[in-house]
Amino acid sequence: MTAEAVHTDVGAYALGLLEPDDARAFEDHLATCGRCSAELAGFAAISDLLTGLGPVEDDPPSAPAAGAPDRMRRRDRARGPAGGDVPSIRLLVAAAAILLFTVGVTVGATGGGDDPVPADLRGWGEIRSAGNAKSGLEAVAAVQSKGWGTHVALDLGNLKGPLTCRLIAVSTKGEESEVTGWAVPARGYGALGSPDHLQVHGGIAIPRADLERLVVRADGVGDLLSIPT
């Protein structure tokens, strides 16, 4: 199972449709992927809904034509319209419909438009984004006012390494406060051969109203990106 394929297996895993080997591979991936963990949580309600879905009763069969052989009547009672178990087929169709609808909403929300928002950042506050056309670095941040200051969540894609980086918050008065820091391996994040984005969280004492921008800064390199807030 490839890394790209694993990301698409969240719904199938939640509904118990994966083969044992694929399920184990997905569980190994899940332990290190925040994006898939968040999507799996969203499938919990769907799984519960399908668990409580009972058998679907067939419509009463129409009366056979006069003189029809007994074997035809027995066959019609034993088989559905397509020769299969109608309740089971309907249950699978319901599961597929709900699964496709949910995946469609997720893909449309995170992959469409000029300012896609990663699923993991939804619900974490106001969304801000920025990009560096020269390096290809892309950033999406969620900022949320707290009683103690401001919570910040950051998603970075096409971040090449090796680097040691910090996220710096800059106030309207020009004061700087470090939100968090991280190391970037040579393979990078959200890059070819390493598709998973980097996601970090942190907090600062600067009130949300006084936060002017967020800066991604690399030690020994300088500022890689500035995100207006």
157, 196: one domain: yes
Is the domain of 92 the same as that of 47? Answer: yes
Same domain, 94 and 141: no
Same domain, 127 and 215: yes
Structural domain for 94, as ranges = 3-54+84-111
Contact 12, 18 (CB under 8 A): yes
Domain membership of residue 203 (yes or no) is yes
Where does the pLDDT of residue 119 fall: very low under 50, low under 70, confident under 90, or very high at 90 and above? confident
60 within some domain: no
Convert the pLDDT of each residue in 151-178 to its tens digit: 999 999 999 999 999 999 999 999 999 9
Please report whether residue 62 resides in a domain.
no
Sign for the CA dihedral angle at 92, 23, 37, 168 comes to: negative
- Residue 195 burial (10 A CB sphere; 0-12, 13-18, 19+): middle
Higher-pLDDT residue of 200, 85: 200
**Both 190 and 221 in a single domain?**
yes
What letter does residue 121 receive in the DSSP assignment? Answer: G
Tens digit of pLDDT for each residue in 127-157?
999 999 999 999 999 999 999 999 999 999 9
Pairing of strands 126-131, 163-171: unpaired
Q: What is the pLDDT of residue 120?
A: 78
Task: Say how many CA atoms lie within 13 Å of 228 toward its Cβ.
Answer: 0
The DSSP call for residue 114 is S
Verify that 153 and 88 share a domain, yes or no. no
| Number of domains composing the chain | 2
Same domain, 207 and 128: yes
Report H helices in the chain.
Answer: 3-7, 10-14, 20-30, 34-51, 70-78, 86-111
Whether 220 shows a pLDDT value over 80: the answer reads yes
Other C-beta atoms lying within 10 Å of the C-beta of residue 105:
11
At residue 192, the pLDDT reads 84
Output the pTM of the full model. Answer: 0.52
**Which pLDDT does position 124 carry in this prediction?**
87
pLDDT (0 to 100) of residue 63: 55
CATH number for the domain harbouring residue 9: 1.10.10.1320
Q: Is 90 found in the same domain as 7?
A: yes
Compute the distance between CA of residue 74 and CA of residue 76 in angstroms, rounded to an integer.
5
pLDDT of the residue at 101? 44
Q: Please indicate, yes or no, whether residues 197 and 167 belong to a single structural domain of this protein.
A: yes
Decide: residue 92, CB within 10 A, 0-12 exposed, 13-18 middle, 19+ buried. Answer: middle
pLDDT > 70 in the chain, percent: 58
- Position 42 in a domain: yes
Same domain for 131 and 100: no
Q: Same structural domain for residues 176 and 101?
A: no
Phi then psi dihedrals of residue 144, to 5 deg: -140, 130
Whether 155 and 224 map to the same domain: the answer is yes
Per the domain annotation, does 59 fall within a domain?
Answer: no
DSSP one-letter code for 27: H
**CA angle at 154 for the pair 150 and 158, rounded to the nearest 5°:** 160
Show the CA angle centred on residue 94, arms to residues 92 and 100, nearest 5°. 100
Paired tokens of 126: 């106001």
Query: Which residues are 154's β-sheet partners?
Result: 141, 200
pLDDT tens for each residue of 4-63: 455 556 677 777 777 888 878 877 776 666 566 656 655 555 555 555 555 555 555 555
